[in-house]
């Protein structure tokens, strides 16, 4: 027993002596992850405490679910939760199909150079920052902006796009599609490039028209990718786009634009109510995980057992 332990310890040392360099290479990533990812996960327990900066996270008093109860019973709760869910849900439903349609259409462009150029343009907005995108929205949709000049020409009245809550979601989602759809189509375009042209030839000889060939050859090819993209998008449903929603907020559109993430930022970092804000953030993450797991489950059922995990 003793003998064996000594031997394995010797082996371990020998192993380390031989492979220490690999551990040196791994160390920075591991240490940074432990500090900046796992310490905050532990720090999330302040959601269950009355955080006092003097006592620190460990020394602060436990208060159980007090902060969660406060959030769930606050008059804002329904509105903020529904805003978050609506923005994410509609965003997912409307944004998801566009890249697929784009890719299917791009796949029909014969000339490689033409296809390349179209892609070059469609990808460009992906490289514009969210600050600039929102800045452009404010410019284009201002009461005197180009879009309203058109609106005035038709109706005689400018539309207050950025200050009416009922427009917020549309502007958010449509601009998201404008910015991201082209780029998101890359992965489908690449998958479609692998389809054997002979398949199309054979189907065409059998009398299948273009629409039928797309439905029966192209679509099944990209279906597994569609499933994965959908699950990933649904998993990030509660966390995506916080920065944009925050930038697009005006005091007037708050009834639609206040989502959990912007609320966490305001309550926590602007008002300094750390514990309560952390509780709201934790609530958000929990919903997120539940969504990820259930969407994965549903897609697995629909997709013949193929899910993300």
The 3 state secondary structure assigned to 224-243 is HHHHHHHHHHHHCCCCCCHH
Written as six digits, the tokens of 262 are: 């912007």
Binds another protein (CB under 8 A): choice among 201, 216, 271, 294: 201
* Residue 59 in contact with another protein, rule: CB under 8 A: no
Binds another protein (CB under 8 A): choice among 3, 58, 112, 127: 127
Enumerate residues 203-222 that contact another protein by CB under 8 A: 204-205, 209-211
* Residue 124 in contact with another protein, rule: CB under 8 A: yes
Binds another protein (CB under 8 A): choice among 15, 89, 170, 297: 15
* Residue 62 in contact with another protein, rule: CB under 8 A: no
x-or-dash pattern for another protein, window 241-280, by CB under 8 A?
--x---x-------------x--xx--xx----x--xx--
Q: Which stretch binds another protein (CB under 8 A): 23-31, 59-67, 81-89, 215-223?
A: 23-31
Distance CA 138, CA 167 (A): 13
Count of chain residues binding another protein (CB under 8 A): 85
Binds another protein (CB under 8 A): choice among 63, 85, 109, 254: 109
Binds another protein (CB under 8 A): choice among 134, 173, 240, 295: 134
Give backbone dihedrals phi and psi of 49, rounded to 5 degrees, phi first: -130, 165
Binds another protein (CB under 8 A): choice among 68, 77, 138, 167: 138
* Residue 197 in contact with another protein, rule: CB under 8 A: yes
* Residue 106 in contact with another protein, rule: CB under 8 A: yes
From the list 189, 187, 212, the residue with the least C-alpha distance to 199 is 212
Distance CA 65, CA 263 (A): 19
From the list 85, 91, 71, 137, the residue with the least C-alpha distance to 258 is 85
Enumerate residues 77-96 that contact another protein by CB under 8 A: none
């Amino acid at each position: 027993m003793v003998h064996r332990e000594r031997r394995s310890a010797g082996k371990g040392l020998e192993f380390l002596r031989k492979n220490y360099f690999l551990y040196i290479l791994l160390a920075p990533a591991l240490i940074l992850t432990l500090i900046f990812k796992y310490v905050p996960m532990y720090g999330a327990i302040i959601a269950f405490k009355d955080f006092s900066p003097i006592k620190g996270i460990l020394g602060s008093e436990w208060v159980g679910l007090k902060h969660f109860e406060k959030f769930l019973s606050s008059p804002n709760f329904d509105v903020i939760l529904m805003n978050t869910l609506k923005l994410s849900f509609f965003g997912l439903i409307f944004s998801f199909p566009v890249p697929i349609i784009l890719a299917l259409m791009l796949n029909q462009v014969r000339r490689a150079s033409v296809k390349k150029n179209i892609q070059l343009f469609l990808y460009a907005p992906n490289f514009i920052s969210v600050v600039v995108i929102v800045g452009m929205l404010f410019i284009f949709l201002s009461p005197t902006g180009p879009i309203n000049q058109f609106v005035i020409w038709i109706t005689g009245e400018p539309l207050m796009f950025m200050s009416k809550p009922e427009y917020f979601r549309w502007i958010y989602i449509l601009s998201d599609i404008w910015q991201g759809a082209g780029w998101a189509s890359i992965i489908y375009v690449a998958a479609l490039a692998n389809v054997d042209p002979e398949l199309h030839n054979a189907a065409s000889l059998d009398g299948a028209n273009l629409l039928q060939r797309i439905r029966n050859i192209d679509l099944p090819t990209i279906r597994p990718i569609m499933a994965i993209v959908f699950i990933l998008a649904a998993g990030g449903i509660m966390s995506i786009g916080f920065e944009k929603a925050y930038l697009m907020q005006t005091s007037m559109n708050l009834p639609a634009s206040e989502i959990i993430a912007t609320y966490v930022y305001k309550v926590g970092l602007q008002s300094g109510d750390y514990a309560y804000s952390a509780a709201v953030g934790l609530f958000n993450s929990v919903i997120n995980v539940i969504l990820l797991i259930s969407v994965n489950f549903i897609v697995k059922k629909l997709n013949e057992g193929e899910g993300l995990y």
